[in-house]
A and B are shown apart, each in its own frame.
Chain A
Amino acid sequence: MKRPLVRPSTLAFAGVLALLLALFAWVVMRSGPLARVPVTTTIVGSVAVAPALYGIGIVESRYTYRIGPTQAGRLGSVLVDVGDTVRAGQLLGEMDPVDLDQRVDANRSALERARAGVTSAQAQEADMSARRQYAETQARRYEQLLQARAISAEATEARRHEQRLAEAGLLAARANLDGARREVERARADLDGALRQRANMRLVAPVDGLVAARSADPGTSLVAGQWVLEVIDPASLWINARFDQLRTGGLRGGLPARVTLRSRGDQALAARVVRVEPKADAITEELLARVVLDHVPQPLPSIGELAEVSVELPPLDPRPTVPNASVHRNDGALGVWVVEAGSIKFTPVRVGAADLDGRTQILDGLEGGESVVVYSHTMLNTRTRITVVDRVPGVSP
């Protein structure tokens, strides 16, 4: 039998070795420093970026009325509780009046007495007025008689004297009457004062609204300045929002916004920026702004609830735009990796505004139409060789 040129087992062995070497070479090419890094790219387009500002806020009431006594005392009664709706002028509670009621009664009695004094003075004046009338008539009669030389001058003088006395008396009586009237006024003023003090013990709602908090129960001793009830106007809820100072150029009153309340994470409510506070927060480096919802949702959001606020600024002019994942810092300069003829080149750029989805304006450095790297499997440097893929390996769709 002729010996075969190459034995089958030799062939098999050679085959296995060749396979091993091929695998080995494949491994070296794929995973060593010679390997190409997979990247994804995108074409730089010209897009009008609509930057938006994002801040976190707290739901607050525009006006909060804290109702309490103006002087120390004991809380007598509280008629409403948290969550009750109240009307302007409604009695919400009362401090313990102590002796005020008695003082009012006393003043009332004093007023009655003053009134009685007026009546008495009036009677006295009428009396004096009658007397003066008589004395005047007498004096005139005696004057006539004196002219007729029927009586003595002395008698006439007496009558004239009586007339003068009667007039003086009348004046005195009138003055007395004035005094009595003034007394009435004083008594009335005293009564008014006592009544006002009494009214001060009543805690009254200043506006229509909702009782938000209640801090004391009847019987508690309070000092002036402590509040018993907090009333808010539910229609005046707004959001006290804080925006990072870094990228909030353009925040001003009147801009439309969208608010997401923490408790209702799925709904985005329409709102409007009312004003930007003139004083920012230097410690937290934030601007403060007030944002009002266009329609207050029912049920009301709780005071103090967190809300996320996005303010949309008007879109800027179209400019070359890249995703913010494309922006890298290399050797101290900010730029993008431009793909040219299968290799990458670092192009420094100047970035402008960005929107909340990461689209970043390029002010300088790109014309538009270039292909830039978006995602890469590893960090890139000038020596990296790339291969463009649809999706970076290891990331599931």
Chain B
Amino acid sequence: MISLAGRDILQAWGKFVFTGVGLGLLIGATLTMAGVYRGMVDDARVLLGSSGTDLWVVQRDTLGPYAEASSVYDDTWRAIASIAGVARAANVTYQTMQVRRGERDVRSMVVGVAPGGPGEPGQPGHLVAGRHLTRNHYEAVADVATGFRPGDRIRIRRNDHIVVGLTRRMVSSSGDPMIFVALKDAQQAQFLKDNDAIVRQRRRTAANPAFDLPGAPGVLDAVIASQSVNPYVNAVLVQLAPGYAAEDVAEPIRRWKRLQVYTRAQMEDILIGKLIATSARQIGLFLVILAIVSAAIVAFIIYTLTMAKIREIAVLKLIGTKNSTISWMILQQALGLGVIGIIVGKLAATLWAPVFPRNVLLETGDAGRALGAVLVICVLASIVAIRAALKVDPAEAVGG
């Protein structure tokens, strides 16, 4: 028995493939949408995993440092480093701000990391160019997504930094690329205001008569100096010593130091469960809509293809073709369309995913699930056409 479906497709394969490509682009859009969601989750995981951190110590009763603002004193790390099970503890600050290079502004997350070299908590996990920070001021390691290159001078608040290294896939949970600078520079950027504000504040302080005692000339200077001090960081990152469980080390810190501590699993929960949750629902809804649209389109296409040869189907039935053969012909065409669609969709998604400004992660599992879904949709969509084909009365082939 020859393949009726095959012959039919072969006769007008250009149209069929073209239709498959169109369906494929729709499927590609669906895959990309799923990839956007996966990319967001992956960004969050990379954010948590790349610094090699096991515990995040933040201000009590906050969800920080990513989901909520958190401030701890910058000498807290010493108390934490002395706790059993803590191998390394380091301060870190995070702030999203505009970073300028020449005329261009880039929105990025400036991360202040304690000096100490690669491998310390908070440092970028791997580089794609340049080197890690060696000086404790005015250097920066930037993510390639910023568009900076080694040697560029960038301006962060009041200071110019030189980009000495590039890293990749270091982005905040909202997709802003990260720039790593020395902790003290970041503290200054976060807490110290711009020059005009500082001068105004000095004037206000000097105008206060309590600070302007004639018999004690140094008081005013001391007060002004104390106002320019910035002793806060956003979190302390902790790496555990081998053999210690995260909760065992976290519990004492929570109780005795009156801080909030999150393990990696809890941070993932917070980031993915709270930060990304709304976006996930948006995307999920969109995926459902796309799936329905795809199903409708496939159904329409298959129905049209079937109706176009309804006379031939009547003749086939008349000359003795089994109903199952005719149904299988229609089903084969639907499945073939689906397979072409999936292949084209996966190809298209892979080709255009890098163009997106944010990370789009196309998982093979998603493609597999999409294949399954597409095949199911094709089967369901072909039911309408099959019913129509089977309803055809072979008597119609015989004239009235």
- Cβ contacts under 8 Å, B128 to chain A: 375-377, 392, 394-395
Q: With A9-B10, A223-B214, A356-B135 as given contacts, are A394 and B239 in contact (CB-CB < 8 Å)?
A: no
- Cβ contacts under 8 Å, B9 to chain A: 13
How far apart sit A98 and B126, CA to CA, in the bound complex (Å)?
Answer: 76
- Cβ contacts under 8 Å, A355 to chain B: 134
Report whether A244 and B115 are in contact in the complex, using a CB–CB cutoff of 8 Å. yes
How far apart sit A239 and B136, CA to CA, in the bound complex (Å)?
Answer: 18
- Cβ contacts under 8 Å, B131 to chain A: 323-325, 357-358
- Cβ contacts under 8 Å, B50 to chain A: 379
How far apart sit A375 and B346, CA to CA, in the bound complex (Å)?
Answer: 29
- Cβ contacts under 8 Å, A20 to chain B: 340, 343-344, 347
> With an 8 A cutoff between CB atoms, is B165 at the interface?
yes
How far apart sit A395 and B343, CA to CA, in the bound complex (Å)?
Answer: 30
Q: With A9-B10, A13-B13, A325-B127 as given contacts, are A332 and B347 in contact (CB-CB < 8 Å)?
A: no
Report whether B125 and A56 are in contact in the complex, using a CB–CB cutoff of 8 Å. no
Q: With A20-B340, A329-B119 as given contacts, are A392 and B129 in contact (CB-CB < 8 Å)?
A: yes
Interface string of B285-317 (1 = CB under 8 A from A): 000000000000000000000000000000000
A window 360-397: CB within 8 A of B: 360, 374-380, 392, 394-396
B window 330-352: CB within 8 A of A: 340, 343-344, 346-347, 350
Interface string of B119-139 (1 = CB under 8 A from A): 100000111111110111110
What is the minimal beta-carbon distance from A240 to any residue of chain B, in angstroms? Answer: 14
Q: Kindly list 15 other residue pairs between chains A and B, CB separation below 8 angstroms, not including A13-B17, A54-B134, A55-B136.
A: A7-B10, A12-B13, A13-B9, A33-B364, A284-B184, A324-B131, A327-B118, A327-B119, A332-B240, A354-B117, A377-B168, A378-B126, A392-B129, A394-B144, A394-B168
How far apart sit A7 and B364, CA to CA, in the bound complex (Å)?
Answer: 36
> With an 8 A cutoff between CB atoms, is B242 at the interface?
yes
Interface string of A328-358 (1 = CB under 8 A from B): 1101101000000000000000010011111
- Cβ contacts under 8 Å, B64 to chain A: none
Interface-facing stretch out of A22-30, A75-83, A103-111: A22-30
Report whether B138 and A308 are in contact in the complex, using a CB–CB cutoff of 8 Å. yes
A window 14-61: CB within 8 A of B: 16, 20-21, 23-24, 27-28, 31-33, 54-56
- Cβ contacts under 8 Å, A16 to chain B: 13, 17
- Cβ contacts under 8 Å, A225 to chain B: 215, 217
Report whether B166 and A246 are in contact in the complex, using a CB–CB cutoff of 8 Å. no
What is the minimal beta-carbon distance from A373 to any residue of chain B, in angstroms? Answer: 9
- Cβ contacts under 8 Å, A378 to chain B: 126, 168-169
Report whether B118 and A379 are in contact in the complex, using a CB–CB cutoff of 8 Å. no
| Residues of A that sit less than 8 Å from B by CB | 7, 9-10, 12-13, 16, 20-21, 23-24, 27-28, 31-33, 54-56, 223, 225-227, 244, 246-247, 283-284, 308, 323-325, 327-329, 331-332, 334, 351, 354-358, 360, 374-380, 392, 394-396
**Beta-carbon nearest neighbor of B21 in chain A:** A20
- Cβ contacts under 8 Å, A32 to chain B: 364
Report whether A332 and B127 are in contact in the complex, using a CB–CB cutoff of 8 Å. no
How far apart sit A394 and B167, CA to CA, in the bound complex (Å)?
Answer: 11
Chain B interface size, under 10 / 10 to 19 / 20 to 34 / 35 or more: 35 or more
What is the minimal beta-carbon distance from B365 to any residue of chain A, in angstroms? Answer: 10
- Cβ contacts under 8 Å, B117 to chain A: 324, 327, 351, 354, 360
> With an 8 A cutoff between CB atoms, is B75 at the interface?
yes
- Cβ contacts under 8 Å, B49 to chain A: 379
Report whether B125 and A332 are in contact in the complex, using a CB–CB cutoff of 8 Å. no
**In the complex, how many residue pairs between chain A and chain B have their CB atoms under 8 Å apart?**
127
- Cβ contacts under 8 Å, B364 to chain A: 28, 32-33
- Cβ contacts under 8 Å, A10 to chain B: 10
Report whether B118 and A324 are in contact in the complex, using a CB–CB cutoff of 8 Å. yes
Report whether B134 and A328 are in contact in the complex, using a CB–CB cutoff of 8 Å. no
Chain A CB within 10 A, most for which of B50, B129, B138, B362 = B129
- Cβ contacts under 8 Å, B52 to chain A: 329
> With an 8 A cutoff between CB atoms, is B116 at the interface?
yes
Give which listed residue, B130, B239, B343, contacts A332 with CB less than 8 A. Answer: B239
- Cβ contacts under 8 Å, A7 to chain B: 10
How far apart sit A177 and B149, CA to CA, in the bound complex (Å)?
Answer: 97
B window 16-56: CB within 8 A of A: 17, 46, 49-50, 52
Report whether B215 and A223 are in contact in the complex, using a CB–CB cutoff of 8 Å. yes
Give which listed residue, B129, B169, B242, contacts A375 with CB less than 8 A. Answer: B129
Report whether B17 and A246 are in contact in the complex, using a CB–CB cutoff of 8 Å. no
Report whether A376 and B126 are in contact in the complex, using a CB–CB cutoff of 8 Å. yes
Report whether B347 and A395 are in contact in the complex, using a CB–CB cutoff of 8 Å. no
- Cβ contacts under 8 Å, B343 to chain A: 20-21, 23-24
Q: With A21-B343, A27-B350 as given contacts, are A332 and B241 in contact (CB-CB < 8 Å)?
A: yes
What is the minimal beta-carbon distance from A112 to any residue of chain B, in angstroms? Answer: 42
Chain A CB within 10 A, most for which of B52, B231, B240, B241 = B52
How far apart sit A374 and B17, CA to CA, in the bound complex (Å)?
Answer: 46
- Cβ contacts under 8 Å, B137 to chain A: 54, 56, 308
> With an 8 A cutoff between CB atoms, is B87 at the interface?
yes
How far apart sit A314 and B332, CA to CA, in the bound complex (Å)?
Answer: 78
Give which listed residue, B118, B144, B164, contacts A395 with CB less than 8 A. Answer: B144
Interface string of B355-368 (1 = CB under 8 A from A): 00000001010000
